[in-house]
Structure 1
């Protein structure tokens, strides 16, 4: 397949959005392992297997105006539209965010976070497949170690894509991942689980659109049928892989700790916090990201 640079596509956000906020988020998001995220302000470079065909592609995303971006695609002719759709989802631009600020008007704690992180929307893994692989790699090891292993797998078994003058390692497509035999710093059980995730992706069990079409409870149940995917991992795949905007991560302890801190509810249970989060509907996933971003920034300031 010959990759070419296509005529840029323009994506418009419904509701607040700032690409620079996305780039700042990726700077501190360990799983992204993005050495270029802190480079050119208002610019993101992405490389990934295109969901469905799994051919490798790249995208150069530039801030056009506040609320819109320009996407230059590096891919084969038949992949260009699919790449733009995938970038739209990765940046959460496929969700109507017009009502997002209303959650902050109802809840002053949320409102203060929205004011501190204006225009920030979830930046997703490239696909639910890649998110699922991350959960397997990262289970029971430090995030920084998992990020190095994930990057090493991409460099050795993925494909290099030149995007805006930089060569990025695209994560292996499912067939290539199934062929991995080297340990790559992982125990054999994790290698086997990665192969199972790759098979599931090839069978269409990890398609973002399909996962979001299910009721969240059903989607989570289906994901937990995959080897190595428990409740926490299933929520991460649905929220940060498929991009479901309205799931409260009731297994995410760091989020719960930050909620207890900011709401001054030190004894609140997960059920109590889920009840608080009901006021964030239909953007519970988005608001949860604000709490997690605030927690990471606060802990960094204290260290």
Structure 2
């Protein structure tokens, strides 16, 4: 990949943020397949196709001071600015976080989770496109198996990108994914669904900013028009792909189990749990991530 190193951009978080917390999250987040992420707690390397142009970019992210990160971009063509915007969304730095502490002050359960995971904000898939591909790949198979398949797809159809001395496999662009012609552990129906996702991304139907601008219910309905995308997957794409900050996952059963445990509501219905989550506004997705992170740590 021919690339140009662009001058670092500096980002300041509005509210608590620690890059080391993001790195620790990625280290344990199987879809990312990044067991190396937390080896350098103040440094994070990412490679991804940049939304819109779908040119591949590599980014080196460093935390220079509390709440301050710098982003160096290696990319072909004039895509550095868009890559930085994408990183802001991936790390949830595109949203004000000052009010998040107030949620914890009002809800002791949330407050304890914030104290346990200081500076952790949602770490997203690189794009709704990549989140939708993950949803297709992971349907009805083990997460570890799905991560292995996603990695093989990136290695076969994606782009190798060197980021500060380390080579990462960037996930294929929608155009490249349309050419998928090997099983790679996937049945033909899933390969065709991946091609449908690629076509939707090429047509702008998975644009992150547009999905976030829609009423969440309308966005979820749009996403469920994609073959193989049901209610659970649509929530995943909207929350963890587009970065919708204030949506309670109505179909995430493990989250609901953790809420019943921590709130001591063993028989609560999903509607009753959603009512509890109402006090987390406008950070319902953020709190849900803390709950899921705690659940995974407690049950692994």
Give the TM-score taking structure 1 as reference length. Answer: 0.98
Determine the C-alpha separation between the residues in 2 that align with 1:170 and 1:122: 21
Give the superposition deviation at 1:45: 0.4
Q: Does structure 2 retain, via aligned residues, the 8 Å contact 1:36–1:45?
A: no
Supply the distance in 2 between the matched residues of 1:25 and 1:45 (Cα, whole angstroms).
14
Residue of structure 2 in register with 1:55 after alignment = 55
Aligned to 2:149: 149
Contact 2:20 2:38 in 1 (8 A): no
Distance (Å, rounded) in 1 between the aligned partners of 2:7 and 2:203: 32
**Residues 110 and 287, structure 2, Cα contact 8 Å, conserved in 1:** yes
Q: Which aligned pairs between 1:41-190 and structure 2 lie closer than 5 A?
A: 41-190=41-190
Partner of 1:283: 283
Once the two structures are superposed, residues 40-65 of structure 1 have per-residue CA deviations (whole angstroms, 9 ceiling, x without a partner) of: 12111000000000001110001111
Alpha-carbon distance between aligned partners in 2 of 1:149 and 1:159, rounded to the nearest angstrom: 16
Structure 2 residue matching 1:27: 3-state secondary structure: helix
Alignment-derived partner of residue 203 in structure 2: 203
Describe the SS at the equivalent of 2:298. helix
- How big is the shift at 1:77? 4.2
How far apart, in 2, do the equivalents of 1:2 and 1:168 lie?
15
Structure 1 runs of 4+ aligned residues shifted over 6 Å read none
Which SS does the other structure have where 1:8 is aligned?
Answer: strand
User: What CA distance in whole angstroms lies between the structure 2 residues aligned with 1:46 and 1:36?
Assistant: 11
Q: What is the rounded CA distance, in whole Å, between the counterparts of 2:180 and 2:287 in structure 1?
A: 38
- Post-superposition shift, 1:219? 0.4
CA distance in structure 2 between the aligned counterparts of 1:131 and 1:268, rounded to whole angstroms: 30
Q: Are the counterparts in 1 of residues 174 and 198 from structure 2 also a CA contact under 8 Å?
A: yes
Question: C-alpha distance in 2, partners of 1:267/1:42?
Answer: 42
For the 8 Å contact 2:33–2:151, the answer to whether it is kept is: yes
Whether the 8 Å CA contact 2:26–2:35 is kept in 1: the answer is: no
TM-score normalized with structure 2 length = 0.99
Secondary structure of 2:46's aligned partner: strand
- Alpha-carbon RMSD across the aligned residues, in angstroms, is 0.8
* Contact residue 28 and residue 35 of structure 2 kept, 8 A: no
What is the SS of the residue equivalent to 1:78?
coil
1:10 aligns to what? 10
Work out whether residues 212 and 242 of structure 1, in 8 Å CA contact, stay in contact via their aligned partners in 2.
Answer: yes
Deviates more, 1:27-36 or 1:268-277: 27-36
| Secondary structure at 1:7 match in 2 | strand
Map 1:223-242 → 2, pairs under 5 A: 223-242=223-242
Q: Which runs of 5+ in 2 are unaligned?
A: none
Count of residues paired in the alignment:
300
Q: Which runs of 5 or more structure 1 residues have no equivalent in the other structure?
A: none
Once residues 188 and 164 of structure 1 are traced to their aligned partners in structure 2, the CA distance between those partners, rounded to angstroms, is 37
Aligned to 1:194: 194
